Structure 1
């Protein structure tokens, strides 16, 4: 009978284990449990049969030092046993008392579920109650057990397990008696540190490039922004803000075409770059965020203009007349 009950408890434990998710370190818990108790009595001169059935129930509490080690304390009641002495006297037999145990677990996940074994001792108070005798005695009853614990939520869990208590009765004149308990329990867990927040995503450095046509920004051969030019510069600032680019640095470079003297073109490119920079400040960009450079005739981007004269050359060189903005800053990707 002992082997059958132990097999049932192992099967129940494994069945719950496949659905389970380990005790959370530095947490405490309280619970209740109840189930089927059986009595294994060494009758010898007694007429009663072994493995008498009853109910077992109790309360328990514990503390998880780690995900695999805990201490527990509890109080048990085994009630409803009976047997017949010498085929004449009906005996009622009940047991109760506190227990202490060490619980060792194999974690099945981070949320408080595990397969466990436990062992300890119970201060068993047992009482015989019959027509021939009525007395109470005490024994220290060691026990071992195994089971599975499943964390339904962070705070609420269930247990299924089997405990076997040795020598609950071990007194001359009384039958040596062990008790097994196949139980289910409900548990509430509290305490423990909150999980550390996930680290904020690291900002990424990005660069946005804008090329503004001088014909859009300025009157012919001028360096004062026209109304359309003001809007074009403001659109750049709006685009940077919309992308939430932080700590933005604006590098403003003015360019001209190769028509005219080099000195004239250098001065014009500087004035145009500064005009754009002034409008950036008007749109909310701080002066320390700006770098302003006149590039004159440098870095032409036009092609196919060789051999052209007059208006055709002016039109062909239009891409060279420009202001380029390079905006570098940081963005943080949303999780």
Structure 2
């Protein structure tokens, strides 16, 4: 038997159970935030930190992959301050317009930690006179994608050293916000491709040929008859087993006669004997479409018909099973 090894690649697609959010889809977004705003160091002597409610609007463009350009406009609160030699109590409103790049680092599929460093144009509008300037802005936060449309965020923002004229202070804003992202869609979770190698061993069965002739003391049939003898099943057993064990095996059954009698009689007898052998296989579970039946009559002798020994060799049935392939 010959063996052939065939290697097949089996690709198994594991379907996603859920969707994850694409973090690289570009979009515009708008939103708002509100929180606690603290004006610190707004006096020259002692501690004069003042806390108010602050909030504002958010707008930006997300380029994808964690990079955005973002601007905010915030009302940071109405604060009290004290500076000398300015007489009396000072109170005023603080607003800020900011612009900064926003850099995000994903910590889950939906949530990122981000930071901003940019500029804040602030305006202090008070009873002692207005002051405005540009100061350094820094912020850190968490941004969570709740849906295709909505993000929620928590942020700490710091505007450093707002120093112009008599006004000198810092601002701290801790806020919660919502942003609405337009034109953003979620993507399905990438399909996990599992590549498994399957090795199939194919075996090639060699052809088999059996010749049953009276010269070999094998009597499948009585003289001039087409019915199987009592011992025929023992002789046909090896070929039957091959056909039963391997569904891909087939057999060609050819009947032969000697030249005694008429040519027409011998032709019919050879066909009937070949068919009788085929019927034996069918009765034992072999499909008829796996069997080919041929009657050769007296046309293909293997020995001379002039002697009894030669005629015995010519009275024969040949069964040939061609080569076939099966999987182990």
TM-score (structure 2 length as normaliser): 0.52
Alpha-carbon shift at residue 176 of structure 1 (Å): 1.1
Write the distance in 1 (CA, Å) between the matches of 2:161 and 2:52. 17
Residue in structure 1 matched with residue 198 of structure 2 by the alignment: none
| Structure whose CA Rg is larger | 2
Q: Which has the higher helix share?
A: 1
Deviation digits for residues 260-307 of structure 1, max 9, x if unmatched?
Answer: 56999xx99xxxxxxxxxxxxxxxxxxxxxxxxxxx99xxxxxxxxxx
Asked whether the 8 Å contact 1:255–1:321 carries over to 2, the reply is no
Alpha-carbon shift at residue 194 of structure 1 (Å): 6.2
Q: Does 1:185 align with 2:177?
A: yes
In structure 2, the CA distance between the partners of 1:192 and 1:160, relative to structure 1 (3 Å rule), is same
Q: Secondary structure at the match of 2:142?
A: strand
Residue in structure 2 matched with residue 38 of structure 1 by the alignment: 38
Alpha-carbon shift at residue 198 of structure 1 (Å): 7.0
48-57 or 70-79: bigger deviation: 48-57
1:210-229 pair list within 5 angstroms: none
1:6-85 pair list within 5 angstroms: 23-44=23-44, 49-84=47-82
Q: Which has the higher strand share?
A: 2
TM-score (structure 1 length as normaliser): 0.51
1:1-335 pair list within 5 angstroms: 23-44=23-44, 49-84=47-82, 89-111=88-110, 113-129=111-127, 133=128, 135-168=129-162, 170-172=163-165, 174-192=166-184, 195=187, 258=253, 260=255, 314-318=279-283, 319-320=285-286, 322-323=288-289
Alpha-carbon shift at residue 255 of structure 1 (Å): 7.0
In structure 2, the CA distance between the partners of 1:31 and 1:259, relative to structure 1 (3 Å rule), is same
| Number of residue equivalences | 208
In structure 2, the CA distance between the partners of 1:195 and 1:261, relative to structure 1 (3 Å rule), is farther
Root-mean-square deviation (CA, aligned residues, Å) is 4.4
Deviation digits for residues 147-196 of structure 1, max 9, x if unmatched?
Answer: 1111112221211110000133x123x14111110111011122347648
In structure 2, the CA distance between the partners of 1:150 and 1:196, relative to structure 1 (3 Å rule), is closer
Unmatched segments (≥5 aa) in structure 2: 1-20, 194-247, 258-266, 291-328
Unmatched segments (≥5 aa) in structure 1: 1-20, 202-252, 269-295, 298-309, 325-335
Whose relative contact order is higher, 1 or 2, with alpha carbons under 8 Å and at least 6 apart? 2
